[in-house]
Amino acid sequence: MTIRSITPFLWFNTEAEDAANFYVSLFPNAKIMNVSRYGDAGPAQKGSAMVVGFEIAGQRLVALNGGPNFRLDEAFSLLVDCTEQEDIDRLWSALGEGGSYSVCGWLKDRFGLSWQINYAGLPDLISGANGGKVMAAIMGMTKVDIQALKDAGAGSQT
């Protein structure tokens, strides 16, 4: 068996192209790879985007304008591992605008896609000697605070 790749395939109603353009605007070296458009055969309006291939941080994704039959939900999310608080702050604000925020760095963007904007060092902190304190700290956060997580991992109070 030969498997070329595994690519997340995201279903949108009509917003696939807008969503992909928004996502690639937020990440360095991200790009739209291709756009396929509906033709005369439909089922959507001729010329509208059908499938948009794009790449973020080396990860290929595909967005489909498939109509209203299915919706994105929290059962699928994109995890962004950040090493700097500035990146967490920027992505949290940009992706969350018009969407909704949850706990532990999770948010849903205005297109309905769920994201986890998180600290790349979190797995090490959680598996450390003060992992319980780190877990308690992150459970009390919406936007992730790297310094507070490090402080919890060092044993100090958050």
Share of the chain above pLDDT 70, in %: 98
Q: What pTM does this model have?
A: 0.92
Q: Work out the end-to-end distance of the chain between its first and last CA atoms, rounded to an integer number of angstroms.
A: 50
Residue 79 in contact with residue 118, Cβ under 8 Å?
Answer: yes
Q: Which residues of the chain have pLDDT under 70?
A: 156-158
Q: What is the pLDDT of residue 158?
A: 40
Q: Rounded to whole angstroms, what are the CA distances from 112 to 33, 75, 136? A: 22, 12, 28
Q: What is the pLDDT of residue 97?
A: 98
Q: What is the pLDDT of residue 147?
A: 97
Helix segments in 7-79, DSSP class H: 16-26
Question: Hey, which residues does 101 pair with through a beta bridge?
Answer: 107
Q: What is the pLDDT of residue 157?
A: 44
Q: What is the pLDDT of residue 42?
A: 81
Q: What is the pLDDT of residue 135?
A: 97
